[in-house]
A and B are shown apart, each in its own frame.
Chain A
Amino acid sequence: EDQVTQSPEALRLQEGESSSLNCSYTVSGLRGLFWYRQDPGKGPEFLFTLYSAGEEKEKERLKATLTKKESFLHITAPKPEDSATYLCAVQAPGETSGSRLTFGEGTQLTVNP
């Protein structure tokens, strides 16, 4: 069974204090790893897709990287508006099940001014 584990569960940073969120996964034949941002009371907002080890994607203060067993979401000089829950999800092979996303529990990030 596919498993996704995110750490830490919660993270508090001061504005400008860079850090990383971790997503480790157990899946046979990764088809894609996805990062989402979720604000309270809203649906997940798509951030990045990574397909193969060594791949990196960047968007503003966020950078996502992928290895064979885990992914990191690096946050550089965060601002209070980066406060949200960050979700990691994987897609794995399967004729019918291959489209579903398996999510981790998320990391709740708070950035204090």
Chain B
Amino acid sequence: NAGVMQNPRHLVRRRGQEARLRCSPMKGHSHVYWYRQLPEEGLKFMVYLQKENIIDESGMPKERFSAEFPKEGPSILRIQQVVRGDSAAYFCASSPLKLGEQYFGPGTRLTVT
């Protein structure tokens, strides 16, 4: 059973460009979460989605950030007009149930130049 897949693994963007991060959950998992790990900081929750629904986006910045989990295809975290402060590792996790352990992908390391 393949684990959580994320791509790209590394992404370099210039200030003002858009970044799109993709996440395919584990087979049979319908709950997807995005977390951000800033340099020298801990993992912080951003958003929780189920198929076609955003359940909890309380950890996501109000501007420039959006997330979706369409009926078909991977979950997408989109960052518009990136700034240097967006440079971080972005991790996706999935779970089979609303509560309980979450399984993480390898992350996407975003560098904004």
Interface residues in chain A, defined as those with a beta carbon under 8 Å from any beta carbon in chain B:
31-32, 34, 36, 42-46, 49, 87, 89, 91, 96-106
Contact = CB atoms under 8 A, between A and B. Distances in A.
Nearest to B95: A99
Given A98-B98, A98-B99, A99-B31, A104 B42 contact: yes
B42 A49 contact: no
Interface stretch (B13-21, B61-69, B70-78, B100-108): B100-108
Interface of B: 4, 31, 33, 35, 41-45, 48, 55-56, 58-59, 91, 93, 95, 98-107
Contacts of B93: 101
B100 A100 contact: no
Contacts of A100: 33, 45, 48, 56, 59
A78 B29 CA distance: 34
A99 B43 contact: no
A97 B59 CA distance: 10
